[in-house]
Amino acid sequence: MTDTTRQRGYEGPLERVDDCTWRIPKASRPGMLVDGLIFADERLLPLVKSDRAAEQVANVAFLPGIQKASLAMPDIHWGYGFCIGGVCATDPAAGGVVSPGGVGYDINCGVRLVRTNLMLDDAKPVIKQLVNQLIRDVPVGVGQGGRYVYSPDELRGMMQRGVPWLADRGLATPDDVACAEAEGCIADAVPGLVSDRALARGSDQCGTVGAGNHFIEVQVVDRIADEKAAAAFGLRAGLVCVLIHSGSRGLGYQVCDDALRALRDAPAKYGISLPDRQLVCAPVGSPEGRHYLGAMRAAANYAFCNRQLLMWQVREVFARIFGRSWESLGMTLLYDVAHNIAKFETHGVDGGQKEVCVHRKGATRAFPAGHPDVPERYRETGQPVIIPGDMGRASWVLAGGPRSLERSFGTTCHGAGRCLSRTAATKAAQGRNIAHELEQAGVIARCKSREGLAEEQPAAYKDVDVVVDVVHRAGLSTKVARLRPLGVIKG
C-alpha cells in the first residue's frame, strides 16, 4: 500500500458494539475469517477513519488460524501489513501463521519506567543541565553507535539470555531482571539464525536510543488516579521518573528485512491467499515460521538489553549531576514492556484454553491482577502498563485491566498514536521553533536533528488522555498515575 493510498481514508463498514468498540463484520468482505474489532470512542472515530488502518484490521482477519477477532487499540494508525495498534492471535494447531508484519521492523520496541526518590523541587533547578548532560552522554540519532561494542559471539550470548547476560557482567541488578516482561529474556531464541549483516549492524548499537519516536524523558508524577496501585508501583505525586523508549535498532530491522525476503514465496507454498502482500506469513510450525520466530526472539532479547544499557547510562548521568550514587537516588526499575512482539501464550478461546501465537504490533501486554506471569510484587494490582504520550503533554502508568484477557488477549494500547504523518508534521512545523515552543510550555527538549522535533511535535499525536480513557473504560487497563514531561532527548 502506498502512502497516497493510506491517506485516502477508510470507507468500509464500522458497526457500533458499545461506547468503546466498533466492529468490521466478517461478512463485509469475502475471505475474512473473523470480525475486526477496534477500540475507540466517538472522539477518536474521525481519526480512525482518516487513514486506511481500519482496512488493515480487516486484512489481518484473513490470516489462517486467527482466533476470536482481528483487534486494534485506540492508538491505531497505518503501518506495514498490520496497523500500528494491531493485535491478533493465531492457533498453531489450526494452521495458524506467524507474520513479521504483525511484529514490525523494530522488534521489541518498548518502554521502561525508572523511579527515583527525587521530587520536582529537586529536579527543577537542574533540569536543563540534566537534559544537556543526557544528550552528551547517551548516544542518540540515526545509525548512532555507543560505547558498548560486542563481538558476534558476545551478541549471540546476549541474544540467547537477554538481560541476565548483562547481569553476569555487572550491568544489571537482580531487580532489573525481575521487573521486565519475561524477565528480560524471551525463551527459545535462536541467535544462530540472525544474519551476519544483522550482527554487524547491532555490534555497537546496544545502549543507544536511535531516532524517530524513540526518546529518554525526565518526568514528574502530576496525578494519582488509583492510590492503592500507585503505592504498589512506588509512585506518588511530585515524584521524578525517567521513561526510556527504544527497541532493537539496526539489528532488529535487519532481522525483519531478512524474514520478509525469506518468506516471500511461503504463502504460495502453503496455499495461503492474502489481501495484502505485506502480510506475508508462514504456518507457525513450518521451517520458515520456526526460523522467523527463532531470529525474532533473539532480536527481542537484544532490545531488552538495549533498554537496560540505556537505563544504566541514565543512572550514571543522574549520579554525576546530583553528586550521589544512583542507588542513593532510588533509581529502580518499575517495569519494562514490549510493544512489537509475537509470543506464545495460553488464552481462553471457545470455552477452553489454547496456546496461541499472540502478535502485538504497537500494543502492550496488560495482564490483570492474579495472572501468574505478573511479577509477584505487582500481582495484587495487575501488570504495570506504561503508555508514553507526546513530549508536550503527558504519559500514563496503567495496570492490567479486569477484561483484558476476555476482550484483547491481555493487551492494551502502547501510546497516543500518530494523527499526522512525519511529512505532514514537518510541513506543519515550517517557520516554527518547536524547541522554543516546548520550553515555553516548561519542557526542555534536545534533539540531534531539527527534523526530529518537527516530526515528533505534540500536534503529531492524538491526546493520550483520550486514548487512555478508552482502554480504561473498556476494561483493558486501568488508570494509575499520569506523568508530565520535564525534559526529553531525541535523535
Q: What's the confidence (pLDDT) of residue 1?
A: 37
Summarize pLDDT for 252-277 with one digit per residue, the tens: 999 999 999 999 999 999 999 999 99
End-to-end Cα distance, the chain: 28
Q: Of how many residues is the chain composed?
A: 491
Q: Residue 247's pLDDT band (boundaries 50, 70, 90)? A: very high
Query: Residue 7: which pLDDT band, with cuts at 50, 70 and 90?
Result: low
Give residue 55's pLDDT band: very low, low, confident or very high (50, 70, 90).
Answer: very high
Contact 314, 134 (CB under 8 A): yes
C-alpha cell at 274: 492474502
Span 385-418, pLDDT tens digits? 999 999 999 999 999 999 999 999 999 999 999 9
pLDDT band at 148 (very low <50, low <70, confident <90, very high): very high
Secondary structure of 433-484 in HEC code, one letter for each residue: CHHHHHHHCCCEEEECCHHHHHHCCHHHECCHHHHHHHHHHCCCEEEEEEEE
- Report the C-alpha gap between 275 and 188 in whole angstroms: 31
Q: How confident is the model at residue 295 (pLDDT cuts 50, 70, 90)?
A: very high
Residue 2 has pLDDT above 80, yes or no: no
417 in Cβ contact with 40 (< 8 Å): no
Q: Which residue of the set 214, 245, 339, 414 is catalytic?
A: 414
Q: Which structural domain, as residue segments, surrounds residue 120? A: 3-490
Q: What is the pLDDT of residue 8?
A: 79
What is the pLDDT, as a whole number, of residue 449? 81
Q: How far apart are alpha carbons 352 and 357 in whole angstroms?
A: 16
User: Which grid coordinates are listed for 86?
Assistant: 494491531
Overall pTM surpassing 0.85 (yes/no): yes
The string of pLDDT tens digits covering residues 331-374 is 999 999 999 999 999 999 999 999 999 999 999 999 999 999 99
Give start and end residues of each alpha helix (H) in 203-248.
Answer: 227-233
Q: At what angle do helices 287-322 and 127-137 cross, to 10 degrees?
A: 130
Evaluate whether 399 touches 441 at the Cβ level (below 8 Å). Answer: no
Q: SS3 helix, strand, coil % of the chain, rounded to 5?
A: 35, 25, 40
Cβ within 8 Å of residue 450, ≥6 positions away: none
Amino acid present at 388: P
Confidence class of residue 448 from pLDDT cuts 50, 70 and 90? confident
Average pLDDT over residues 15-43: 97
**Does the active-site annotation cover 339?**
no
- Measure the CA–CA gap between 253 and 109, rounded to whole angstroms: 11
Residue 296 near residue 103 (C-beta atoms within 8 A): yes
Q: Which residue has the cell 501510546?
A: 415
DSSP summary character for residue 180 = B
Domains: count for the chain: 1
CATH number at residue 272: 3.90.1860.10
Name the 3-class secondary structure at 17: strand
Return mean pLDDT, the chain. 96
Alpha-carbon distance of 347 to 93, in angstroms, equals 14
E strand or H helix at 397: strand 395-400
pLDDT at 392: 93
**What value does the mean pLDDT take over residues 465-478?**
98
pLDDT at position 5: 47
Q: Helix and strand tally (H, E) in the chain?
A: 18, 19
Q: What percent of the chain has pLDDT over 90?
A: 95
Is the model's pLDDT at 3 over the cut of 50?
no
> Per-residue pLDDT tens for 299-316?
999 999 999 999 999 999
